[in-house]
Amino acid sequence: MVVGEPLSLSEAFPLAKDTADEFEAVVRDHSRVVYRIAYSVLRNHHDAEDATQETFIRCLRWWKRLDPGRDRRAWLARTAWRLALDRRPKHREVSLDDAAQAVSTLRAGGAPVDEIAAHQQMEALLERLIATLPRELREPLMLSTVEDMTSPEIANVLGIPDGSVRTRLMRARQVLKEKLAVILAGKNPT
CA distance 17 to 164: 42
DSSP state of 175: H
What residues between 154 and 183 interact with another protein by CB under 8 A? 173, 176-177, 180-181
CA distance 125 to 17: 49
CA distance 67 to 71: 8
Interface segment toward another protein; rule CB under 8 A; list 13-21, 79-87, 89-97, 159-167: 13-21
Q: Least distance from C-beta 163 to another protein, angstroms?
A: 21
Q: Least distance from C-beta 152 to another protein, angstroms?
A: 18
| Closest listed residue to residue 73, CA positions, set 187, 185, 154 | 154
94 contacts another protein (rule: CB under 8 A): no
Torsion of CA 65, 67, 70, 76, to 10 degrees: 30
CA distance 136 to 160: 10
* Beta carbons within 10 angstroms of residue 136's beta carbon: 14
Q: Which is nearer to another protein, 160 or 182 (CB)?
A: 182
What residues between 26 and 55 interact with another protein by CB under 8 A? 27-28, 31-32, 35-36, 39-40, 45, 48-49, 52-53
Binding region for another protein (CB under 8 A): 1-7, 9, 12-15, 23-24, 27-28, 31-32, 35-36, 39-40, 45, 48-49, 52-53, 56-57, 60-61, 103, 107, 113-114, 116-118, 122-123, 126-127, 130, 141-142, 144-147, 173, 176-177, 180-181, 184-185
